[in-house]
Structure formats: structure tokens, C-alpha cells
């Protein structure tokens, strides 16, 4: 996590909002912002991956593949994964970025675990990372209150005990593009003076339809995942929901019958870090997790993209 904080009280000075409105409508109190000339998403990926290497006692040279889920890559190309591998000296790794907005970590986790299941790779790192402050319009009170910067990562390795990723249901619906997108800077609308003047290089969100689709999408897919695996809320130790809005998190937890104390929530201190939220929750709660526990990860985001993944914690 970057060290610099942006609190609701700071935002009160920038846009027409209040700490009370933000807290009651979203649950957010503060977020972190990556400041400094030349600092990009890869500067959060690199320390997250290095922390894993240190914890696991491995050298970055042992990493086979790094997958970075992000919508705020350092550049359109090359991939942030490639830049981060260079920064940490992971010279034996191949890697790529995944663009699936707030569901990026779940999409990448399925990809990463498939690489392990193929038997061809032994150490795959999956990182969710976004420097949202790079694409947020700090004059738009409906979006700037939600987002923050951050990165989290997990290491995937083979095991013979049936641990790790068990099952995933992943979905997408491109008709949701109209409600959550960045208009310019892609091949549809390359950057021009006009696109800059029209503030089209910032994230646009029509909050209400996104909210409605998120409540339904995240809850439905989590319930379907449990049903497909013959599980109920009683079998689940933790729900790790994408941290977009406390009200969306509560709706998902209620739907699968999990009380608040079994739900990881850190939205109050980090806001919505897009692909970063789920691995950051795992990082915050790591000491409380026990080997073999069933954990449900659930996300919804731009695309629309959404999904849920069942994991048996491995250590």
C-alpha cells in the first residue's frame, strides 16, 4: 500500500461532499494514493511480489510466470507484468496483464491456477494492482470518493492435498460498458487535445445501474458457486468480496448466509482499489486463515465482469 492517505475530510475540501455522505453511502473513510514523479502501478506490484518471495523464502528467479490484473497499466504496452519482472529481477518469468477491471484478480487467479494444474509451471504469481488515482477525475464527486491505489499478490504452487483453487464461475457482459468505462486513450478514441479538454481520459461511472448489477451479479454467482459444490454458508469460513461499496458487500453476505464477522472488509481504510481489493483483504487477514478453510472470493466490475471463486486455503 502506498503511504499517502486521502481522507473523506480531504475530499470535502476538493469536491462538494461530506464525510458523512461518503461513509453512509459507501463505507469508505480513507484511501491510499501513490504519489511521486515516475511512480506507476509496477511500483506497487514489485514490492508485493518481493514480500511474497521473502515470506516463502524464494528468489524472484524461481518465479515461472507473473500475471498482473490491472486497468491502470504503466503504459498501454509493454505489460506491467514485464516491467515489474524487470524491477525485481524475475528474469526467468514470462508474464502478461489481464484487463477485467474489478474482477481482474479472480479472472487471473483462474488463469494462474490453470497453469499450475497443467503441470507445466511450479510457481505462478497473481497480482491485482491499480493506481486508480491516475484515471480519476478529482472534480467528479461521484467517482473520486470511491477509488484508491493499491496492490496485492498471491503465489500459486502445485500440491497433492487438494488445496488451493477448487472452482470458479466467471461471467462477462459487454453491454455494461456504457455504465463504466474510460472513453478515450484506446483505439476507438486516441488521445487528442479535444479528448483531454473533454476530460475523457478519466474513469466514467453511472453509479446506480452499476450498483444494481453488482448487487445481483455478485450475490447470484456466489450462491450458484456454493450450490454447485454442495456447500452452504455454514461450510464457508470467509467471504472475501470485492470492496466497492459496503452495501453491495452486505447484500452478497446475506444471500449466502454469512454473518459480518466472517466477511473480510477493509473498504473503510483503502476504498476501491479495483483489482487490488481481494488480495489486499487476504494480506490483511492472512494470520487468521487456517489450512483447509473454505473461502469464497467474489467480485463485480467494469465490462461488466463478475465472478466467484472457491478456495481451500493452503497453509
Ligand X SMILES: CC(C)(COP(=O)(O)OP(=O)(O)OC[C@H]1O[C@@H](n2cnc3c(N)ncnc32)[C@H](O)[C@@H]1OP(=O)(O)O)[C@@H](O)C(=O)NCCC(=O)NCCS
Residues that bind ligand X (CB under 6 A): 17, 21-22, 25-26, 102, 141-142, 145, 207-208, 210-211, 214, 244-245, 248, 272, 300-301
Catalytic residue among 65, 82, 272, 281: 272
Provide, rounded to whole angstroms, the least separation between the CB of residue 151 and ligand X: 16
Concerning whether 201 is annotated as a catalytic residue, the answer is no
Q: How far is the CB of 214 from ligand X (least distance, A)?
A: 4
3, 201, 211, 230 from 280: Cα distances, Å: 15, 27, 22, 28
Report how far residue 83's alpha carbon sits from residue 128's, in angstroms, rounded to the nearest whole number: 15
Tell me how far apart the alpha carbons of residues 248 and 240 are, in angstroms, rounded to a whole number.
12
CB 148 within 8 A of CB 271: yes
Active site includes 85?
no
Return the number of the residue (42 or 274) whose C-beta is nearest ligand X: 274
Distance CA 33, CA 36 (A): 10
Residue 88 CB, shortest distance to ligand X, in Å, is 28
User: Of 82 and 245, which has the nearer Cβ to ligand X?
Assistant: 245
Question: Is 65 a residue of the active site?
Answer: no
SS3 call for 247: helix
Q: Give least dist CB 205 to ligand X, A.
A: 6
Q: Cell numbers 497433492 correspond to what residue?
A: 160
Q: In the bound complex, what is the minimum distance in angstroms from residue 227's beta carbon to ligand X?
A: 24
- Measured CA to CA, the distance from residue 269 to residue 161 in angstroms comes to 36
Decide if 149 contacts 70 (C-beta within 8 A). Answer: no
Compare residues 141 and 269 and give the one whose CB is closer to ligand X. 141
Q: How far is the CB of 242 from ligand X (least distance, A)?
A: 7
Which one of 127, 144, 242, 245 is the catalytic residue? 242
Q: How far apart are CA 154 and CA 213, in angstroms?
A: 28
- What CA–CA distances, in Å, run from 89 to 51, 63, 82, 85, 156? 14, 10, 10, 6, 19
What span, in angstroms and rounded, lies between the C-alpha atoms of 222 and 88?
36
* Location of C-alpha cell 486521502: 6
The span from the CA of 44 to the CA of 53, in Å, is 15
Check 102, 127, 144, 281 and give the catalytic one: 102
Nearer to ligand X, 40 or 145 (CB): 145
Nearer to ligand X, 142 or 195 (CB): 142
**Residue 174 or 190 with smaller CB distance to ligand X:** 174
> Which of the residues are catalytic?
102, 242, 272
Amino acid at each position: 500500500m502506498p503511504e499517502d492517505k486521502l481522507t473523506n475530510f480531504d475530499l470535502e475540501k476538493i469536491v462538494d461532499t461530506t464525510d458523512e455522505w461518503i461513509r453512509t453511502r459507501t463505507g469508505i473513510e480513507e484511501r491510499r494514493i501513490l504519489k511521486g514523479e515516475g511512480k506507476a502501478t509496477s511500483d506497487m506490484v514489485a514490492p508485493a511480489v518481493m514480500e511474497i518471495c521473502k515470506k516463502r523464502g524464494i528468489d524472484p528467479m524461481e518465479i515461472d510466470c507473473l500475471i498482473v490484473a490491472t486497468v491502470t497499466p504503466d503504459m498501454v504496452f509493454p505489460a506491467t507484468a514485464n516491467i515489474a519482472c524487470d524491477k525485481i529481477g524475475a528474469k526467468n518469468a514470462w508474464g502478461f496483464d489481464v484487463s477485467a477491471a474489478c474482477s481482474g484478480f479472480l479472472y487471473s487467479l483462474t488463469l494462474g491456477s490453470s497453469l499450475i494444474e497443467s503441470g507445466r509451471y511450479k510457481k505462478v504469481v497473481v497480482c491485482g494492482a491499480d493506481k486508480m488515482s491516475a484515471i480519476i477525475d478529482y472534480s467528479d464527486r461521484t467517482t473520486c470518493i470511491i477509488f484508491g491505489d493499491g496492490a496485492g499478490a498471491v503465489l500459486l504452487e502445485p500440491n497433492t492435498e487438494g488445496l488451493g483453487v477448487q472452482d470458479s464461475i466467471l461471467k462477462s457482459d459487454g453491454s455494461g460498458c456504457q455504465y463504466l468505462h474510460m472513453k478515450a486513450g484506446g483505439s476507438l478514441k486516441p488521445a487528442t487535445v479535444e479528448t483531454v479538454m473533454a476530460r475523457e481520459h478519466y474513469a466514467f461511472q453511472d453509479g446506480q445501474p452499476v450498483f444494481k448489477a453488482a448487487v445481483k451479479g455478485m450475490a447470484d454467482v456466489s450462491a450458484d458457486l456454493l450450490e454447485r459444490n454442495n456447500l452452504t454458508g455454514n461450510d464457508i469460513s470467509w467471504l472475501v468480496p470485492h470492496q466497492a461499496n459496503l452495501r453491495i458487500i452486505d447484500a452478497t453476505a446475506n444471500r449466502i448466509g454469512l454473518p459480518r464477522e466472517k466477511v473480510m472488509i477493509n473498504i473503510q481504510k483503502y476504498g476501491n482499489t479495483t483489482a487490488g481489493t481481494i488480495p489486499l483483504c487476504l494480506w490483511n487477514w492472512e494470520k487468521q486463515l487456517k489450512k483447509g478453510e473454505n473461502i469464497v472470493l467474489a467480485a463485480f466490475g467494469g465490462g461488466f465482469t463478475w465472478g466467484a471463486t472457491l478456495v481451500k486455503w493452503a497453509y
